[in-house]
Amino acid sequence: GAVVSQHPSRVICKSGTSVKIECRSLDFQATTMFWYRQFPKQSLMLMATSNEGSKATYEQGVEKDKFLINHASLTLSTLTVTSAHPEDSSFYICSAGRDSKRGIDTQYFGPGTRLTVL
């Protein structure tokens, strides 16, 4: 299957700082990338859909100004958690979608980034 990487895999930061997470599709061009958040022992919650060259579409309840998403190229999307607080501590997972005639059937997931805000 396709390979999606995330960097960093783990980050610890102080409250009030901003953290940038990168998501890269390594072997295909992804016009669409997705950002999810997962709390311990819970399911994935879609935060936003990122389309290359346009603004991200955020899910209801997700603050656009807090979670900045940039999809500058077909292989890179970034999520910046601005002014992070302890409640933002979570596992953030990105995925890249491969277009087909039916739209995007399969998403390829990155390994995730564990964010801990002190």
Partner 1 sequence: SQQGEEDPQALSIQEGENATMNCSYKTSINNLQWYRQNSGRGLVHLILIRSNEREKHSGRLRVTLDTSKKSSSLLITASRAADTASYFCATKRGAQKLVFGQGTRLTINP
Provide the binding-site residues for partner 1, judged by CB under 8 A.
1, 4, 6, 32, 34, 41-46, 49, 91, 93, 95, 97, 102-112, 114
Instruction: Indicate the residue among 51 and 70 with the shorter CB distance to partner 1.
Output: 51
For residue 60, the surrounding DSSP H or E stretch is none
Instruction: Indicate the residue among 2 and 13 with the shorter CB distance to partner 1.
Output: 2
Instruction: Indicate the residue among 70 and 107 with the shorter CB distance to partner 1.
Output: 107
CA 70 to chain centre: 10
Q: What distances in angstroms separate CA 81 from CA 1, 8, 100, one per listed residue?
A: 29, 13, 31
Are the beta carbons of 97 and 74 closer than 8 angstroms? Answer: no
CB of 83 to partner 1, least distance (A): 26
